[in-house]
Amino acid sequence: MIEDPPLTEWIQRAAQGEPGAFDHVFTRLYPELRRIAHARLFAAGTGGASMSTTELVHESFLRFVRAPGLALADRRHFFTYAATVMRHVVVDLAREHRAQRRGGGAAHVPLDDLLPADEPLVDGDAGNDELVLRIHDALAELEQVDPALARIVEMQYFAGYSQLEIAGLIDASERTVRRQWDKARAFLLDRLRV
Look at residue 183 in the predicted model and tell me its pLDDT.
93
Is residue 2 included in any domain, yes or no?
no
pLDDT along the chain (194 residues), means of 10: 67 80 85 81 48 82 76 78 82 76 46 42 52 83 93 82 88 94 90 76
| Single-letter code of the amino acid located at 96 | E
Is residue 108 included in any domain, yes or no?
no
**184: CB partners within 8 A, 6+ apart:** 142, 146, 149, 150, 152, 153
Look at residue 123 in the predicted model and tell me its pLDDT.
41
Cα separation, 131 vs 108, whole angstroms: 9
- Domain count across the chain: 1
Look at residue 104 in the predicted model and tell me its pLDDT.
47
Look at residue 173 in the predicted model and tell me its pLDDT.
95
Residue 10 contacts residue 72 (beta carbons within 8 Å): no
Look at residue 53 in the predicted model and tell me its pLDDT.
82
Is residue 83 included in any domain, yes or no?
yes
| Single-letter code of the amino acid located at 88 | H
Looking at residue 43, what DSSP letter applies? Answer: G
Which H or E run contains 61?
A: helix 53-66
Q: Which domain holds residue 14?
A: 7-103+113-191
Report the candidate in 109, 104, 107, 106 with the shortest Cα–Cα distance to residue 119.
109
Is residue 147 included in any domain, yes or no?
yes
146 alpha-carbon distance from chain centroid: 17
Residue 121: count of CB within 10 angstroms of its CB: 24
Is residue 136 included in any domain, yes or no?
yes
Look at residue 112 in the predicted model and tell me its pLDDT.
39
44 Rama class: left (phi>0) / alpha (psi -120 to 50) / beta: left
80 Rama class: left (phi>0) / alpha (psi -120 to 50) / beta: alpha
Cα separation, 79 vs 8, whole angstroms: 12
Cα separation, 97 vs 76, whole angstroms: 32
Is residue 1 included in any domain, yes or no?
no
